[in-house]
Structure 1
Amino acid sequence: MFVDSHCHLSFPELRAELPAIRAAMERERVDRALCICTTLEEFDTVHALALAHDNFWCSVGVHPDNEDVREPCVDDLVALAALPRVVAIGETGLDYYRLGERSVADMAWQRERFRTHIRAARESQKPLVIHTRSASEDTLAILREEGVGAWHGALPGVFHCFTETRAVAHAALELGFMISFSGILTFKNAVELREVAREVPLDRCLIETDSPYLAPAPHRGKTNNPSYVALVAAQLALIKGCSLEEVARVTSRNFERLFGPSVTIDASTNS
């Protein structure tokens, strides 16, 4: 019924509890999950999860925050994206939150990495999973410079764990992206984010946990997992003034529209 469109089940604290997590997902009617890659070194572990379970899929990419890791090239990403059950490029984007003593100019390496992912997505025809933090202006500028808004025949991707302004949301929508909301939507201090969610059309929304981080209320502060995505859906239903079943139906359909027919339940059981 529900789909967790972004989780990190390869991280040790979740991987060690996978049987219990899968049982909890079944109880909470979370029938699918997208396992997100953050380094090329991690990819084999992430991909193995997707291959081992018929309701998991994965991405390939290098998170903008990760330094001192193998740097991807377009050919690397395209080759890995062609493997079975790999349905997206990312997560990728820009993150200026932890600049420390560095300036934005010093982050040229991050911007070049982002462009590499965009070009790989274009070549592989796989959607982008975008991470942006304290860098939305440059994120949008690079997407435009790379011609993402002019892509034809497919949605370009998703801005995951959205925490930006109305203006950024509308710009992302204009470029063709979906917007994904996490457990932050349930936090008491997330008043402005809930107003953003009110404005994003439901047929452009996804839901996610970003687990093991950002557990929704009433589990805030605990280790998050995909079974909690139903709580994000419940908050979105409250914001939209519609039923929980409607949010589940539309966001699941959106997941299929974005990531393709291979992520449908029928297709997965035959894989």
Structure 2
Amino acid sequence: MDGGWNPTGCSRLVLLLFLNVHIGQVLITHAGSPVTVLGTDCTQISKINPGATSGLHTIKPEGIKKDFKVYCEMRLDGCWTVFQRRTGGAVSFQRNWAAYKAGFGKREADHWLGLWKLWAITKGEKWVLRVELCDFEGGTVYAEYRGFNVGSVKDNFKLSVGDYSGTAGDGIHGTLRESSQNSYGFTTKDRDHDGCTPCIADDIATDNCSLEKGKGGWWYSNCGSASLNGEWHPAGKNPGGGSGLHWHRWKGTSPYSYRATRMMIKPL
């Protein structure tokens, strides 16, 4: 993983256009003047430019005035837009609401793309969310959720996911109905939307799960079974039940903080 992920190229798509392409942009001559066309996500970039490879690309979701850069993972199973990556402790995820809304880190390395950008990409249609986890023993697993999208800021960037498939276990829906993180808003250490009044996290009563789970932002509900934005811990250092990079279903009930994670989306 970073390099630890080993992407493969997307299948090439034939376009009946003569295109001049640069990082997901197309220049099309219209009435003698070139017009720049940007992809709305990584999948559309691959259609505009069939030879596009994994890396930084510029996108402009529909209805958004300003374009921005994302990391695209071009694979045989689709062209994925990465919105979270963790490979170590160099980038702190112990951030406030404003930082999680805007995004932080470097797109080509450890980063959080930003809740506003994630909403801009996913609004109006359903997506597939893919979560990838790496442990310290060389194991890798994944979880996929159909029907993913994120609500607007008025809905506190509420998480919506559908059916689960994969090898990591269903960390988002969790083992108990009351711990499901589906349909909950995003919570940070300074903005609480987890519904706890209070909740019991690691035998401690808390009104804000972020404060008990490493101060990272997440879609908490009753603190829940997943939290991948907590404090990064080295091998063997797993204080508490979910203070680190936590996905309860893979490693069972024992505390375990993962070595690396990645979250990405593609159109359903």
Structure with the larger RCO, 1 or 2 (CA within 8 Å, 6+ apart): 1
> Computing the radius of gyration over CA atoms, which structure comes out larger, 1 or 2?
2
Q: Which has the higher strand share?
A: 2
When normalised by structure 1's length, the TM-score is 0.28
When normalised by structure 2's length, the TM-score is 0.28
Q: Which has the higher helix share?
A: 1
